[in-house]
């Protein structure tokens, strides 16, 4: 018996296009005990992930309530945030820590969608048990290739955290909140995967099985902007990535859904305050 595959019936992968266009790379910088007081100034534009294996910690953020962590936990900082980890001076706490390099820096939509600090008990992250077990075994071991393997495992954990945040509806607004929505997610994924399409409010609403007015209101409520504004911002982010890769404006305009260089430049300037060529020149003055 033969079966035909209906694409509308396949599972919508909410992260595939995001991670394809805007990958995140991890690099472990610490594995072992932290004792007493450890300050993180987080220079530059990298994020960090800390995995507490054993022990307890007090985490002090200037101007924020102090966090007390007493169970194995994940601490995710998508952007640089000054903080102080306070552990017992003798017993300390065992952690594995990695820098997170979000492709595109501050323009990376995954970085932009996350809050400054995420703290989760490890046991709450569904499906991460085996990943974490292997990560800790390698991070605290001495096998050859451990750094390369642990770096990849940190990236896997980040994906599992993103899944967890969407599936448990923990995001109160923004892109991840929209991707958590059982109907809006279809429109968002379609924009992410096919930015070159001439998306109308009607076509996006139809994908979401909603009327135009209900879709527009639900989108603004969940994501925080109109579908048109979101699509323009997404296209411009893709254009920035393509400019970093040295592509021509004519090719970029075609790839991201604009009729030509002039239309792309208008959208780019409305979003960034400058034309694409000026933006590229600022990034690469030489």
3 state DSSP class of 76: strand
Query: In the chain, where does the domain assigned CATH 1.10.10.60 lie?
Result: 177-283
pLDDT digits over 132-143, tens only?
Answer: 999 999 999 999
Q: What pLDDT score does 10 carry?
A: 40
Q: What is the pLDDT of residues 196-219, one digit of tens each?
A: 999 999 999 999 999 999 999 999
- Delimiting residues of CATH 2.60.120.10 domain(s) in the chain: 16-167
Fold of 177-283: Arc Repressor Mutant, subunit A (1.10.10)
- Are residues 224 and 96 in contact, defined by beta-carbon separation less than 8 angstroms? no
Q: What integer pLDDT is reported at residue 138 of this predicted model? A: 97
Separation CA 274–CA 172 (nearest Å)? 31
261 neighbors 249 (Cβ within 8 angstroms): yes
Q: How much of the chain exceeds pLDDT 90, in percent?
A: 83
pLDDT band at 40 (very low <50, low <70, confident <90, very high): confident
Which backbone phi and psi does 205 adopt, to 5 degrees?
-65, -40
**Could you tell me how many helices (H) and strands (E) the chain has, helices first?**
12, 9
- What gap in Å lies between CA 7 and CA 270, rounded to an integer? 35
Q: In what order do the strands lie in the sheet with 83-86?
A: 37-40, 83-86, 57-60, 67-69
Q: What is the pLDDT of residue 106?
A: 82
CATH number given to 16-167? 2.60.120.10
């Amino acid at each position: 018996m033969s079966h035909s595959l209906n694409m509308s019936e396949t599972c919508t992968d909410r992260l595939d296009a995001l991670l394809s266009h805007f990958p995140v790379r991890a690099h472990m910088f610490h594995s072992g005990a932290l004792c007493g007081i450890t300050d993180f100034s987080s220079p530059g534009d990298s994020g960090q992930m800390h995995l507490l294996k054993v022990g307890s910690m007090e985490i002090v953020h200037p101007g924020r309530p102090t966090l007390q962590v007493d169970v194995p936990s994940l601490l995710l900082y998508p952007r640089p945030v000054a903080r102080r980890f306070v552990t017992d001076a003798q017993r300390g706490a065992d952690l594995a820590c990695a820098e997170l390099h979000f492709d595109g820096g501050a323009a990376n939509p995954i970085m932009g969608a996350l809050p400054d600090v995420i703290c989760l008990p490890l046991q709450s992250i569904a499906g991460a048990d085996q990943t974490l077990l292997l990560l800790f075994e390698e991070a605290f071991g001495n096998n050859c290739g451990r750094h390369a393997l642990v770096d990849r495992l940190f990236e896997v954990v980040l994906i599992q955290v993103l899944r967890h945040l969407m599936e448990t509806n923990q995001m109160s607004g923004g892109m991840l909140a929209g991707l958590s929505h059982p109907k809006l997610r279809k429109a968002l994924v379609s924009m992410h995967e096919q930015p070159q399409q001439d998306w109308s409010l009607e076509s996006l609403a139809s994908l979401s099985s909603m009327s135009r007015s209900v879709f527009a209101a639900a989108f603004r409520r969940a994501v925080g902007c109109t579908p048109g504004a979101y699509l323009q911002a997404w296209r411009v982010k893709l254009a920035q990535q393509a400019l970093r890769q040295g592509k021509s404006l004519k090719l970029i305009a075609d790839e991201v859904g604009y009729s030509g260089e002039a239309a792309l430049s208008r959208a780019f300037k409305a979003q960034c305050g400058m034309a694409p060529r000026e933006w590229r020149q600022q990034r690469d003055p030489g």
